Every structure is written in C-alpha cells, then in structure tokens.
Amino acid sequence: MRWLPSSGIFLNLLWMSWCQGFSVSQPQGRVEALERSNVTLVCVMSGESPPGPARWYKGNGSERTHFCSGAPKGGDKNDSRVTWTAEYMTVNYSITIRDLRVSDTGEYYCEKYTKADENKPYASGPGVTLTVRGVPIITGPASRVKVGNDLELTCEVNRASNSTVKWFKDEQEVTPEHRDTSGGGKSIRSVIRLTLKIQDIKSVVRCQESGLSAQNPLEDKFHLKDAIADLPGVPVIENPKLVLGDSVIMTCKVSGVYPRDINVTWIWDKTFKSSQSQHAEEHENGTFTVTSVLSFTVKEDMRGTRLTCQAGYEGLTPVSATVTLAVRGPPSIKGPQKRVEIGQTVSFTCESLGDQDTSITWLKSVRTDSEEQKMSWSNGTRSEFKVTLTKFDVRSSIYCQIPGYRGGSVPSDTLNFSTFILATPKVTIQKMSLEDSHNISRFHCRISQFYPDDIKVMWLLEGQTMNFTLFNHSENLDKTFTAFTLVDVIVTNEVKNLTCVVTHMGNRNVTRTVEFSKKSSGDEEKTVNNSTGLNKIHIVIGVLVAFVLLCVVLTLFLYCRKRSQRKKASKKKSKSNNDENKNTEVEYASLDLHNLQNANKGQRPATEPTEYAEVACNRPKQSQDDEVTYASVVNLRTKPKTDTVQAQSTLQEENTEYAAVNFTRKTKRVQDSVLYY
C-alpha cells in the first residue's frame, strides 16, 4: 500500500468532490500505527454545506462513542490527545491523535450535522479502521522469586495481521509454555517459565513481535535482576565478649545476596529495632555482601538477652541468626586481708561476673604469669594465683585482666604488695668505743630490712629503761627501711645485760641482748640473741668451712707441685750419677760388734776404751795377705769422765754410736762412710 501525505490526500479529495457534488470522504480506509506514536485520520467535505458542526465517533452500533467535535453536546467530551489538523475548518475536518494506545484500535467515523437538526447526521463518511500495533509488554511476578524457584513471565501484544511472538533469553530462543489469543484475535498472550539460577542476575529476556516488517520487529525487554532474589544462608552475627559499660558495635553480615537493598533488622527479645547503618559490597557474579551494624552501650540488664539479626525481601521468608549476649563484669582482684611475712605464700583471687568461660590473665610487676587455677560457677569465672613472698616484693604489684571488646583487654585494679607484705626487722648491737676516763662506753643498735615503717625502739639495762638517741631512719633500694640508735652505758666490773627491744607494727617485738663488764683489752662482750629468726651463726660457720676447704685445696696443690719438682730433680740427679759412676764399683761394709776382735788392746789406756770392727767388703774372697781395714768407734758422748755413772746411764739409753771408716776404692776416690750399730 502506498502512503500519501495528508495535504496531497486533501487536495485530491477536494477535486473529486467538486466534480461529483457534496459528500464526506474518509479515503484512508485502514490505518496501522505503533503504540505511543501519532496518527492523522483524514476527513474532507466536498462543496458547500449547510451551517453546522462536524463530529468524530468511534465504533458502530452499541459501541458507538463520541470521540471529538467542534462543539460537544450534552455530556460529550473531546479526548485531550486529539487536535484538528486544519486551522480553519471549512471543508477539512481531519484530526491528529497523539500518544496512541492499544485501546485506540477501532473504527472512526466523520459526520456532518446542520444547525437545523444537530441530532441527525446530514452526511457521514465511510469510516476508517485504526489498528494500533502495540509494543510487546512483559509482565513479571508481583514479588521477587528466590534462586532455585520458577519465574513466570507473560508477554501480551495487540495482534496485527500475520504477526508472531517469540521469546529469547539473552541470544537463545525460549519455547513458551503456552500461547493464548483474545479479543477476537486482536491480541496475543504468551507465557514462559524459567528456573532461576544465580547466573541469571545478568540475563535479559526479550519478547519479540513481528508485524508490518519482519526486519524491524517490536520487542520488550525484561531484566531478570528485577525479579530475582538470592538468600543463600543465615546471617553471620558477631558475638563479641561484652564488658559492662563498654560502647560496642555489633555486626551482622549477609553474604551472596541479591539485590543489594535487602532489608536487615535487629530484634531485641522480639522487639524490633532497625539497623543504624548498612553497607553493601558487590562481587564478580553480581551478588553482594551486606553488613549491618548496631551500636549500643552494654548495660546490666542485657545479660542473657537474645539478639537476632533478620534479613529478607518483601514477599519472601526472611533468614535470621540469634546470639545470647554474655555481659561480663570488669575483673575484680582480692588479696590478703592482713600482713604476711616474707617467705610465706599468699593467694590472690580474680573474679569476672556474667561469663562462665572467661580467660583470666595474671600480671605481676609487668610480667605475665600463667600458674593459675581457673574455676567457673553459674554466675561467672574465678581464678586463683599463689605467690611466695620475697624481700624484693615490697615494690611489686599484681593485677588480672580479661579479654575486652574486639581483641582488647579489661584490667582490674592494681594491688600493691606493700599493702600486705611484712618484713621483720633484723637487730644487731655493737660496742662503738672503749671505756673512757669515766668508764662510759657507747653501744650501737642497728635495725635493718623492715617494712612497713612502723617501729618503736627501747633500751633496757638489767630490765630498766634507758635514755637513748634515735637517728632518723632511711629507705633502702628495695623499699625496706633501716634505723639506728645509740646509748651510753657506765661499765663496771659487774657483768650486766644490755638489751635493744624493737617493737614492729605495734605488737611484734624483736630483741637483742649483750653482756658486758669492765675487763682487759683482750676480752670481748658476750652477746645473747633473743630475736626470733635472726641468728647468723650458720652464716659464720659457712664462711669458716669455706675458708678451711680453700686452705686444704691450696695446701694439696703446693704439696703436689713440690713433690713433682723433687721427682724431676731426683730423676735428673740419678741420671747424672749413673753416667758419672758408670765404671765405679760400690762396696758395702757391715760392722758386727758382737764378734769384735780387739787389736793391740793393751796398748791403749783403760780409761779410754777403743773398739775395733772388721769391715768386710762385698768383694771376691780375700787371700791371707789382703789388707784388713779397721774402723775406729768413737763414743760421741762429750761429757767429762767425772760423770761416770751418768755417762753409763746415758750410754745405755743411746742405741746408736758412730764410727768413721776410711777406705780406698778402685776409682781412687776417698769417701767417708758412717757406720751405725
């Protein structure tokens, strides 16, 4: 069919009407237009006509309705989308319809009326059939459909001649479930059913209708992301270790969801409370991780409260996760209630209310200790820690801590050992000077290593209180204290007891007593130690034992060293003698006094006894002519002869006398020998 411009149609009809007489012409017959476009319906009258209006009606018979006129009558109204094509209407009564709708499809009649009878048409045109070719419209579900379920889509389009409808998912054609026609075959309704997958978030469904031109089909698009919903699982709600009074932020995460505008709600024991902030992070597959936070201050009445995080979409069953809040109280530490002496063991307890499984850590002087006994009870956790006190603990401190919110820690109050430790004073007495001209001596009492600083000192002489001087005490590096006191005493020959009494903490007495009297310079006072646990004898004994052991070790070392030197010298000398006397023959002589033969016995005076002994050398048997060597035995007693009786007794006591023997060896050396008998 060839389409002519509106002005050309009008001129052609005007020429025909001039030749044939008056008539109403609608030459288009049938018109097809696209939905939401504009169309012109032509109406031309030939020749002059009686005065009166021209009117347009839609439909025929009972469906006839007023559509447009110059002067509507009664309750008739003009469609606001319709305008007259000609500015001055004399013979051209064409109209233009804007923004066509599918409902505009129908037959339109142009009629001429006169003023004499406006209810009866003077002349009427044959009518024009308008078919509005509707763009396919896809209708989806009223609410989102969860992944894994079926999605139903409907495509409805006004049917034109020889038109068909096809479905496509992305670029792949989809076979519809069923196809209906309605409205006398003027419209088509097609339905498809899809099982949703998470990948469908990025898919597009098209409903395509081919009508006037198959090369330029009409279609409608539906993005599956507008109907799909994904709730893969329950939310993950953070369950931190809450501590009373903390300002916390609870976090709830929902991962792999679609779309991002999921509704997240917090519920306190069935009381709804919306989240204060929400953040979404998109993933590569198009899903999101949505994080919702809730801020609040931990209160006592929250202990045991059930807190629920609920997430969902309208029309779908929501998912949720619930935690029971464990509100823990700050840790409290307890130590000894009274003073404890150094060397004893003390116990500390740390309690945290509200949680039966709280980790408790002990810290002593910034050092972490783990030797603890942990206990749980229905309303919290208790830990016990034991320490054996030393003198260095005067300046120590201890505290416990529990895990805090998000990795921090909550400490207890710090307990200083100085509040309960007790160091008993050590007392010593020393004489500072000898007696002066007035027989007065000064004694010194030293009180050391005591804590706390609460002492009273008193001197007693034979049980009687004395006046004394107390120097100001001083603090030691280990935080203990030292004090000094002096007293002057008159010394007599009588032995007396002098006592230094130290009262510590009001009721603990430590005493030291010394005995003194006037004596020689070499004597010393005797000290009596009455203080409990302050005797140093074991220290002195230890020092003496160590000194003796050291002396023994040193003596053994020197002895071994000297012996080694002697052995070396003896070996060296023996070697030298062996080399020198290699050819020397050594002879031995024996002196037998029982078989002595006196030689020339009568030649010596009787008062000067002389004894002779034959010396037999270890030689081969001698001949009769061999020379015999005699040894002269000389009494070595040097006292005069007048003491004869005394000399005889002396000779009886002496068992050994000496004789000098001279003999010649083969080596021609003369050697003196001493014989013993």
Q: Is the same domain home to 166 and 271? A: no
* Interacting residues of 156 by C-beta distance below 8 A, sequence separation 6+: 136, 137, 139, 187, 188, 189, 190
Q: Is the same domain home to 308 and 348? A: no
Residue 212, pLDDT score: 53
Are 139 and 73 in contact by the 8 Å Cβ rule? The answer is no
Are 179 and 189 in contact by the 8 Å Cβ rule? The answer is yes
Stronger pLDDT, 539 or 522, i.e. the higher one: 539
Stronger pLDDT, 617 or 28, i.e. the higher one: 28
Report how far residue 156's alpha carbon sits from residue 151's, in angstroms, rounded to the nearest whole number: 17
Examine the pLDDT at 608 and tell me if it is beyond 50: no
Residue 368, pLDDT score: 62
Annotate 136-168 with DSSP letters as a single string: PEEE--SS-EETTSEEEEEEEEE--TT-EEEEE
Residue 254, pLDDT score: 92
Tens digits of residue pLDDT in 188-200: 888 999 999 999 9
Annotate 390-435 with DSSP letters as a single string: -GGGGG-EEEEEEE-GGG-EEE---EEGGGTEEBPPEEEEEE-S--
Look at 110-114, 385-389, 630-634, 651-655 and tell me which has the smallest mean pLDDT: 651-655
Residue 417, pLDDT score: 94
Question: Which of 327, 352, 371 represents a domain boundary (last residue)?
Answer: 327
CB neighbourhood size of 98 (10 A): 13
3-state secondary structure of 45: strand
Examine the pLDDT at 180 and tell me if it is beyond 90: no
Cis previous bond, 411, omega within 30: no
Examine the pLDDT at 23 and tell me if it is beyond 80: yes
From residue 476, give the alpha-carbon distance in Å to each of 73, 343, 393, 451: 120, 19, 13, 10
The answer to whether residue 566 is domain-embedded is: no
The answer to whether residue 564 is domain-embedded is: no
Stronger pLDDT, 210 or 301, i.e. the higher one: 301
From residue 60, give the alpha-carbon distance in Å to each of 23, 55, 68, 101: 20, 14, 15, 19
Measured in whole angstroms, how far is the alpha carbon of residue 59 from the centre of its chain?
A: 84
Q: Is the same domain home to 447 and 500? A: yes
CB neighbourhood size of 206 (10 A): 20
Specify the CATH number for the domain of residue 373: 2.60.40.10
Residue 358, pLDDT score: 79
Residue 131, pLDDT score: 82
* Interacting residues of 327 by C-beta distance below 8 A, sequence separation 6+: 242, 243, 244, 298, 299, 300, 302, 303, 304, 354, 355
Residue 356, pLDDT score: 72
Q: What is the mean pLDDT of residues 324-353?
A: 90
Residue 228, pLDDT score: 93
The answer to whether residue 26 is domain-embedded is: yes
Closest CA to 650 of 632, 634, 637, 633: 637
Q: What is the mean pLDDT of residues 639-658?
A: 42
The answer to whether residue 583 is domain-embedded is: no
Residue 460, pLDDT score: 92
* Interacting residues of 70 by C-beta distance below 8 A, sequence separation 6+: 53, 54, 55, 84, 89
Q: What is the mean pLDDT of residues 574-599?
A: 46
Stronger pLDDT, 117 or 512, i.e. the higher one: 512
Residue 6, pLDDT score: 46
Please, which pLDDT band fits residue 421 given cuts at 50, 70 and 90? very high
Closest CA to 634 of 652, 661, 615, 614: 661
Q: Is the same domain home to 61 and 124? A: yes
Tens digits of residue pLDDT in 450-462: 999 989 999 999 9
Residue 492, pLDDT score: 86
Query: Using the 8-state DSSP alphabet, how is residue 473 labeled?
Result: P
Q: Is the same domain home to 13 and 109? A: yes
Please, which pLDDT band fits residue 595 given cuts at 50, 70 and 90? very low
Please, which pLDDT band fits residue 449 given cuts at 50, 70 and 90? very high
Stronger pLDDT, 71 or 658, i.e. the higher one: 71
Examine the pLDDT at 170 and tell me if it is beyond 70: yes
Residue 493, pLDDT score: 86
The answer to whether residue 555 is domain-embedded is: no
Site of tokens 């409902």: 103
3-state secondary structure of 653: helix
Q: Is the same domain home to 26 and 108? A: yes
Q: Is the same domain home to 321 and 287? A: yes
What long-range pairs does 639-646 form, CB within 8 A, spacing at least 24? Answer: 641/607
The answer to whether residue 541 is domain-embedded is: no
Report how far residue 195's alpha carbon sits from residue 151's, in angstroms, rounded to the nearest whole number: 6
Q: What is the mean pLDDT of residues 101-124?
A: 86
Most confident option among 272-276, 491-495, 615-619: 491-495
The fraction of the chain above a pLDDT of 90, given in percent, is: 26
Q: How many domains does the chain have?
A: 6
Site of tokens 């309605």: 182
Q: Is the same domain home to 107 and 14? A: yes
Handedness of CA 31, 32, 35, 38 (dihedral sign): negative
Q: Return the ∠ at Cα 358 (arms to 352 and 364), rounded to 5°.
A: 70
Tens digits of residue pLDDT in 198-247: 999 999 999 988 765 556 678 899 999 999 999 888 888 877 778 888 88
Site of tokens 């969801």: 257
Question: Which of 406, 421, 436 represents a domain boundary (last residue)?
Answer: 421
Examine the pLDDT at 184 and tell me if it is beyond 90: no
Tens digits of residue pLDDT in 485-495: 988 888 888 88
Examine the pLDDT at 614 and tell me if it is beyond 50: no
Cis previous bond, 259, omega within 30: yes
Examine the pLDDT at 69 and tell me if it is beyond 70: yes
Annotate 566-587 with DSSP letters as a single string: HHHHHHHHHHHHHHHTTTPPP-
Examine the pLDDT at 7 and tell me if it is beyond 50: no
Q: Is the same domain home to 174 and 218? A: yes
Residue 162, pLDDT score: 59
Residue 625, pLDDT score: 46
Q: Which two tokens stand for residue 156?
A: 């409805």
Look at 81-90, 134-143, 423-432, 521-530 and tell me which has the smallest mean pLDDT: 521-530
- Boundaries of domain holding 628: 589-676
Q: Mean pLDDT of all residues in the chain?
A: 76
The answer to whether residue 573 is domain-embedded is: no
The answer to whether residue 118 is domain-embedded is: yes
CB neighbourhood size of 195 (10 A): 11
Residue 161, pLDDT score: 53
* Interacting residues of 459 by C-beta distance below 8 A, sequence separation 6+: 445, 465, 466, 467, 468, 485, 487, 498, 499, 500, 501
Examine the pLDDT at 638 and tell me if it is beyond 50: no
Q: Is the same domain home to 499 and 448? A: yes
Residue 168, pLDDT score: 94
Residue 214, pLDDT score: 55
Examine the pLDDT at 317 and tell me if it is beyond 60: yes
Residue 667, pLDDT score: 40
Most confident option among 425-434, 567-576, 617-626: 425-434
Examine the pLDDT at 482 and tell me if it is beyond 70: yes
Q: Is the same domain home to 220 and 172? A: yes
Stronger pLDDT, 186 or 418, i.e. the higher one: 418
Examine the pLDDT at 617 and tell me if it is beyond 80: no
Q: What is the mean pLDDT of residues 117-136?
A: 86
Stronger pLDDT, 223 or 135, i.e. the higher one: 223
Closest CA to 168 of 179, 153, 156, 182: 153
Question: Which of 534, 564, 581 represents a domain boundary (last residue)?
Answer: 534
Are 597 and 626 in contact by the 8 Å Cβ rule? The answer is no
Q: Which two tokens stand for residue 9?
A: 């149609």
Please, which pLDDT band fits residue 569 given cuts at 50, 70 and 90? confident
Handedness of CA 174, 175, 177, 180 (dihedral sign): positive
**For the whole model, what pTM was predicted?**
0.48
Q: What is the mean pLDDT of residues 648-666?
A: 44
Report how far residue 158's alpha carbon sits from residue 137's, in angstroms, rounded to the nearest whole number: 10
Residue 666, pLDDT score: 42
* Interacting residues of 209 by C-beta distance below 8 A, sequence separation 6+: 135, 136, 157, 163, 164, 165, 188, 217, 218, 219
Stronger pLDDT, 402 or 649, i.e. the higher one: 402
The amino acid present at 481, given as its one-letter code, is: F
Are 24 and 125 in contact by the 8 Å Cβ rule? The answer is yes
Q: What is the mean pLDDT of residues 590-615?
A: 44
Report how far residue 199's alpha carbon sits from residue 212's, in angstroms, rounded to the nearest whole number: 36
Q: Is the same domain home to 451 and 518? A: yes
Strands 481-490 and 469-470: antiparallel
3-state SS record for 474-520? EECCCCCEEEEEEEEEECCCCCEEEEEEEEECCCEEEEEEEEECCCC
* First-residue to last-residue Cα distance in the chain: 178
